[in-house]
Structure 1
Amino acid sequence: MAREAKREIAQLSEWDDARIMLEKAAADGVETAWDRLEKQKNHCTFCEQGLTCQKCVMGPCRIVAEGAKKKDGVCGADADLTVARNFGRFIAAGAASHSDHGRDLLEVLAEVGAGTAPDYEVRDEAKLRRICGELGLETDGLDAPAVAAKLADRLYSDYGFRREALSFCVRAPKARLDLWHALGVTPRGIDREPVEMLHRTHMGVDCDPASICLHAARTALADGWGGSMIGTELSDILFGTPKPVRSTANLGVLKADQVNILVHGHSPVVSEMILAAARSPEMLAKAREAGATGINVAGLCCTGNELLMRQGVPMAGNHLMTELSLVTGAVEMVVADYQCIMPSLTTVAACYHTQFVSTSDKAKFPGGLHVPFHPSTAKKQAMDVVGMAVEAFTRRDQTRVHIPVEPVEIMTGFSNEAILEALGGTLDPLLDAVKSGAVRGLAGIVGCNNPKLKHDHVHVNLARELIKRDVLVVVTGCATVAMGKAGLLMPDAADMAGPGLSKVCRALNIPPVLHVGSCVDNSRILQLAALVANALGVDISQLPVVASAPEWYAEKAAAIGLYAVASGIQTHLGLPPNILGSTVVTELATKGMTDLFGACFVVESDPFKAAELLDAHIASRRIGLGLYEPEPSPAEDLFEAVPPASGSVETGLTA
């Protein structure tokens, strides 16, 4: 096989800040993800197709699917079974990751209820009580900590093995619940389904590829309607439900004259404490004594998204910008929790003065400093860590600092509650816009970067193409920074949208691309789709709603995609999972799931072709609902009766 040609820097990323830092990394002798990808070429075909098996020591085995050279595993597992087993375990790991994130929030909520987490509190008591009511829990006469303890006890049971369905399944349309029941995929326990998947894929257990794939769907649903949804809702309860706010993004958010701390990972439990410590008078005084004008906290990946949504903290970058942010030479410290944190960061940090600090006992990084955070002592630990960052500022070599661009402005904070408030407390204006064709459909574009694809190219161009077609886009995770850099997260991006969507955006003074949170917050998209479906009296699969993971790479992204499909949402992937070695599994993923769930996967790396495919699905669903895409009514007429949101400012939404 001929070796693929090495790409030039201009082919690696859409952005100036990334390309400039790639050049600086080369000059500084710093290796990046793109360099390591180059060393990995060409990839093993067996691995790419899912045809390797290392589940027992009779192997490892390489499977040949068919023909004269057909070769099964030592146990007799053929290509279809091997691929299904590998994919099932891939989904189990992804579901476990987001669900463990949710468990961390649940543990903090329980400690708040018990009074053993003095540095945390319930910041949205109204939402706490509303969710308890939704789940049938009585809270009359109880104070906020007692209510928190009651909700924590209920949600802890969702992680176990004795429930017939997860608590938040009550949000799904009845038709979807009935379908899950008929297929035997109703998620029963957040931990139960991944454990059962590991059992099923042990040698000599489930040998039916279709059966394994169905349980993969059940495992993913336990993430989307369980662990991730718990993570989202409890983050809102503990740290505040996001409301629209403006901030900035790209490497220009770093400050040459300040102590720069980057929070990285996924959980707000640590990053909220770091932000509070960085804003404390004591730490600001220490920073001035060290010669800095202040302390600047900025975000990477989903921990950054959490602080961006709630606190307006700027975003330095997404997954493929993490190494490059350190190459600026301006970062004193990276404070990391877990997930999507490249092990290389400790090596890159060591090339400069940067201190890398890990905080979760389940995620340690050789070469970094480990400072375990616990709810009972979080504030003190945060003060200690920020103090170390201030000390690192005194060791910064200003001759190696290069902040390559000016930041761009973005708008964030579109929780479902904020969207409803903007619409006057009811979905009716949005439903009217969809019915009229002013908004032809909705698309969720989510997370991740993959160095195999040009950085952020698919994200941005897919979104541009969809909004041109009057499709309202919502984004989470790493896609957020891409959209922000492209100017799509500001109200004036309405100029890039189609005539109907443009009018809607101007009427509400919102962007055509709405940032709804971190990657666990894809559960917001599930809930919004369910709300719309219930309001229309249809199933989610009948809605003009699609999803996309354009540049995905991770196990948890595959779980997200699968729970979207199993919930009835047609889902685009920019790259295929490692399943192409099995005709059965590939056909099921890209065709057969439509018969089961009313949706399937679409794989396409070209964003323009992907937009056409997703647009065609939206059009088919509109036709199915009897919406034949007439000329859209003026959006101003649709929204003129909507009362302004309380506390609204120039955005037309809650400040």
Structure 2
Amino acid sequence: MEQKILNNETAQNKLIEKAKKDGVKTVWDRKVDMKTPCGFGSAGVCCRNCAMGPCRVSPVPGKGNDRGICGATADVIVSRNFARMVAGGAAAHSDHGRSIAFNLYSTSENGDLKVKDEKKLMKVAKRFGVETENRDIYDIAHDLAKTGLQEYGRQFGTLTLPTAVPEKRKEVWNKIGIMPRGIDRDIVSIMHSTHIGCAADAESMLKIAMRTALGDGWGGSYTATEFSDIMFETPKSIATEANLGVLEGNSVNVVLHGHEPTLSEMVILASEDPEIVELAKAQGADGINLVGMCCTANEATMRHGLKIAGNFLQQELAVVTGAVEAVIVDVQCIMPALAKLSENYHTKFITTSPKARIKGATHIEMDEEHPYESAKKILKEAILNFKNRDNSKVEIPHIKSEAVVGYSTEGIVSELDKVANSNIGALGTVKPLADCIVSGVLRGAAGVVGCNNPKVKHDASHVEMIKNLIANDVIVVTTGCAAQAAAKAGLLTKEARKYAGAGLAKVCELVDIPPVLHMGSCVDNSRILELVGEVANYLKLDIADLPVVGAAPEWMSEKAVSIGTYVVCSGIDTWLGVVPPVTGGPEVVDILTNRMEDMVGAKFYIETDPTKAAQQMVERVEEKRKKLGI
């Protein structure tokens, strides 16, 4: 494994050096150019929510201004800024869900988008109260889509929560007033409350943020995953490869990057069209090599085995290889730098969403009524660009790792049924997983998720944390860029069980699974919520009682702030490896890292050393086990 980690660094370093020789800058260069970041911004005490400022309040009590022009204290400013990050993250993930709901509404038997998982359709329709008996599946799908969309604009009552939410957890949310309402309503509430002249109490502000985050995790993100499974199939374990070595020398290399699976699904389908295949061969290429980047890679790899070129910080490096004909993107985590970078190579940078138009890119909008034809048009642009490749600029680091990906909640339950299960009637439940945890064969579980951040060594925190956890018999589930870090390090292989503790290794051997389970994109953290919720329900416990922990050791986006907040509010302690911009508000820090435990049974931990963080996570797992008497 150490060799694979070293190989990943070698692959990156080669291309970083190539970028310097080519006279282009990457994210790491721009990070250096920024020099020392603004202390006020890093502490979260800069406010520009009106035109009287911007106001910079001293992060050190007793020194400098202690209030903004309107009288807002440091804690008020910090809590507002934190809440606005939650609103931004919740809006991004939930709007992803909204797009998927509209896609589900567009499905038809003869259309580009179809229902591929009828079983999942019936399951989700039941929880939303959509009638299914003696009805056409597309009528059911359309009614489900409309019902799901109503959750966004809900004005009365609360969200239609999944059955995985334990009743004890609902009681916690109701008690402190953070039960999620309409998804859009709660996001707007943050924006209203952070307007000048509104909320000026840190605890009140953070509770509004907590409620909004829960609407993201158990609402918008949750339905995004469910509806995607209905249209594109619920993932099952599948083999793939990861790292920049998946690019091919004489193929039309196309990088799919972004987050919403509809684009990648249509491009994958179009790449198999005989007309498209023949066009590629006519240009002198061996074929079309589709690879994924960031969460689009996760979505496509777990359903099709699409090869993973890399995660967030590698998107520029793929272009730097000089071997990429096109980078095709939709929304989220797309660096605008790709537009200028691509000018230095032959690569076409193609945007497809009106939500993410980028100056300097070629824009070919995905036609929602005819997505397949749009995908073909986009692919043709890439294929016809193959002749423009300058082979003197090509350098592909031939380094890649094998991986097994695509463990949905249903897939994990199915796999764990292979563990000795004396109760035949319990097949298809989380009983085997619960039994393994209660018996101590598995000490607990950890979700290691989140982005990459140039503030820390790329992928190192993810890999080091995961290695320490599995060595202590803590099974790891992972999503997003963290999952891709694990893939490149060889941790998503069944052979990686040799690095696990004796109990986890035995389970992996019996079930024939890796010790680290790839569960999808960052929006698929909802799968983790579902899994822990169902285990809690089976054991008649609250999620906060379980020996389960979470971490985002390299997080960088607003989505990660929303995710971390809804995970903690769901009762799961969460470790952050990058210090959030809240240190200027002592009360805010106290709430997030201390008082939240009294409110929701869990809290945030801030630890930049991944080894220390992993040790703390194991200690917390053992503390939960002792409290349960197991």
Give the secondary structure class of the aligned counterpart of 2:324: coil
SS at match of 1:112: coil
1:573 corresponds to 2:576: yes
- In structure 1, which of residues 36, 39, 58 is the aligned counterpart of residue 33 of structure 2? 39
Is 1:135 the counterpart of 2:138 in the alignment?
Answer: no
Residue identity matched to 2:116: R
Kept after mapping to 2: 8 A contact 1:51/1:82:
yes
Q: Work out which of the residue numbers 45, 61, 67 in structure 2 matches 1:51.
A: 45
Distance in 2 separating the partners of 1:70 and 1:327: 47
* Letter of the 2:134 counterpart: G
**1:453 and 1:551 in contact (8 A); partners too:** yes
**Larger displacement relative to structure 2 (101-110 or 415-424):** 415-424
> Is 159-168 or 338-347 further displaced after alignment?
159-168
Return the offset for 1:14. Answer: 5.7
Is 2:106 the partner of 1:103? no
Alpha-carbon displacement from aligned partner over 1:421-473 (angstroms, at most 9, x marks no partner): 11232222211111121111000011210000000000000000000000000
2:488 alignment partner in structure 1: 485
- Tell me whether 1:347 sits opposite 2:350 in the alignment: no
Is the counterpart of residue 523 in structure 1 residue 517 in structure 2? Answer: no
| Partner residue, 1:307 | 300
Counterpart code for 1:90: M
Give distance in 2, aligned partners of 1:296 and 1:447.
27
The CA deviation at 1:170 is 3.7
The alpha-carbon distance between structure 1 residues 12 and 42, as it changes in their structure 2 partners (threshold 3 A), is farther
**Whole-Å separation in 2 of the counterparts to 1:32 and 1:571:** 31
8 Å CA contact 2:57, 2:64 repeated in 1? no
Question: What is the deviation of 1:163?
Answer: 3.7
**Structure 1: how far apart are the matches of 2:63 and 2:78?**
20
Tell me the alpha carbon deviations over residues 551-603 of structure 1, each in whole angstroms, 9 at most, x when there is no partner. 00000001000000000000010012110000000010111101101100011
Deviation at 1:68, TM superposition (A): 4.7
Match of 1:122 among 103, 115, 120: 115
Greater Cα offset, 402-411 or 563-572:
402-411
2:375 aligned residue: 382
Displacement of 1:279 in angstroms is: 1.6
Alignment length (residue pairs): 615
Once the two structures are superposed, the pairs formed by residues 139-150 of structure 1 within 5 Å of their partners are 139-150=132-143
Aligned equivalent of 2:512 = 509
SS of equivalent to 2:284: coil
> Retained in 1: the 8 A contact 2:16–2:317?
yes
In 2, Cα distance between equivalents of 1:303 and 1:120: 18
Structure-to-structure mapping, 1:66-85, within 5 angstroms: 66-85=61-80
Give the structure 2 partner of residue 653 of structure 1.
Answer: none
For the pair 1:404 / 2:407, whether they are aligned, the reply is no
Q: Deviations over 1:18-69 (max 9, x none)?
A: 1111111111111001110101110110000011110111111111252153
CA distance in 1, matches of 2:162, 2:211: 12
Counterpart of 1:81, as a letter, is V
Which AA in structure 2 matches 1:138?
E
Name the counterpart of 1:62.
56
Deviation for aligned residue 1:375: 2.3
What is the aligned counterpart of 1:283 among 246, 255, 276?
276
CA contact (8 A) 2:478 2:518 kept: yes
1:248 to 1:14, Cα distance in 2 relative to 1, 3 A: closer
User: In 1, distance between residues paired with 2:10 and 2:515?
Assistant: 24
> Runs in 1 of length 4+ with deviation above 6 angstroms?
none
Whole-Å separation in 2 of the counterparts to 1:406 and 1:276: 27
Q: Secondary structure at the match of 2:111?
A: coil
How many Å separate the matches in 2 of 1:439 and 1:381? 48
The whole-number CA distance in structure 2 between the counterparts of 1:12 and 1:313 is 24
Match of 2:17 in 1: 23
Instruction: Give 1:134 shift.
Output: 2.4
Cα distance in 2 for residues equivalent to 1:161 and 1:429? 38
TM-score, length of structure 1 as denominator length: 0.92
Judge which range, 421-430 or 145-154, deviates more.
421-430
Corresponding position of 1:620: 623
User: Percent of pairs identical after alignment?
Assistant: 46
Preserved contact between residue 8 and residue 243 of structure 2 (Cα < 8 Å): no
Whole-Å Cα distance in 2 between the matches of residues 614 and 247 of structure 1? Answer: 30
Q: 2:64 & 2:7 partners in 1: Cα distance?
A: 41
Contact 1:13 1:454 in 2 (8 A): no
Counterpart of 1:200 (choices 193, 215, 219) is 193
Supply the AA of the counterpart residue of 1:410.
A
2:253 is matched with which residue? 260
CA gap 1:139/1:332 in 2 versus in 1, 3 angstroms: same
Aligned-partner Cα distance in 1 for 2:567–2:64: 38
Which residue identity lines up with residue 71 of structure 1 in the other structure? D
Distance 1:168 1:309 in 2: 26
Instruction: Determine if contact 2:8/2:399 at 8 Å carries over to the other structure.
Output: no
1:220 aligns with 2:223: no
Deviations 1:386-425 (A, max 9, x none): 1111111010011111111232110011001111111232
Equivalent AA in structure 1 for residue 368 of structure 2: P
Q: Deviations over 1:135-167 (max 9, x none)?
A: 332210111110101111211111013242212
Alignment of 1:442-521 (within 5 A): 442-521=445-524
Alpha carbons 1:229, 1:520 under 8 Å: kept: yes
**Is the 8 Å Cα contact of residues 56 and 65 (structure 2) preserved in structure 1?**
no
Match of 2:355 in 1: 362
Paired with 1:82 and 1:406, the residues of 2 have a C-alpha distance of 47
**Structure 1, residues 223-253: CA drift from partner, whole Å, max 9, x if none?**
0001100111111001110001101000110
Q: Distance in 2 between matches of 1:569 and 1:138?
A: 35
**How far apart in 2 are the matches of 1:483 and 1:526?**
20
Counterpart of 1:168 in 2: which secondary structure? coil
Quick check: 1:87 aligned with 2:90? no
Residue matched to 1:175? 168
2:17 is aligned with what amino acid? E
Distance in 2 separating the partners of 1:419 and 1:88: 34
Q: 1:153 to 1:68 in 2, by over 3 A?
A: closer
**RMSD between aligned alpha carbons?**
1.4
Letter in 1 for 2:433: L
For 2:204, the equivalent position in structure 1 comes to: 211
- Give the whole-Å Cα distance in 2 for the aligned partners of 1:306 and 1:432: 30
Q: Please give the alpha-carbon distance, in whole angstroms, between the structure 2 residues aligned to 1:173 and 1:218.
A: 17
Aligned amino acid, residue 108 of structure 1: N
Q: What SS does the aligned partner of 1:590 have? A: helix
Paired with 1:211 and 1:265, the residues of 2 have a C-alpha distance of 34
3-state secondary structure, aligned to 2:448: strand
**2-structure distance, mates of 1:12, 1:582:** 40
Matches within 5 A, 1:290-329: 290-329=283-322
**Whole-angstrom CA distance in 1 between matches of 2:6 and 2:434:** 40
- Given candidates 530, 541, 549, the residue that maps to 1:538 is 541
TM-score by length of 2: 0.96
User: Which amino acid is the alignment partner of residue 11 of structure 2?
Assistant: D
Q: How far did 1:169 drift?
A: 4.3
**Partner Cα distance (1:26, 1:562) in 2:** 39
CA distance in 1, matches of 2:36, 2:296: 33
Q: What is the CA–CA distance in structure 1 between the aligned matches of 2:527 and 2:7, rounded to whole Å? A: 29
Mapped partners of 1:246, 1:468: distance in 2 = 24
Question: SS of the residue aligned with 2:323?
Answer: coil
| Alpha-carbon offset, residue 530 of structure 1 | 0.4
Flag structure 1 segments of 5+ consecutive residues without an equivalent: 1-10, 628-655
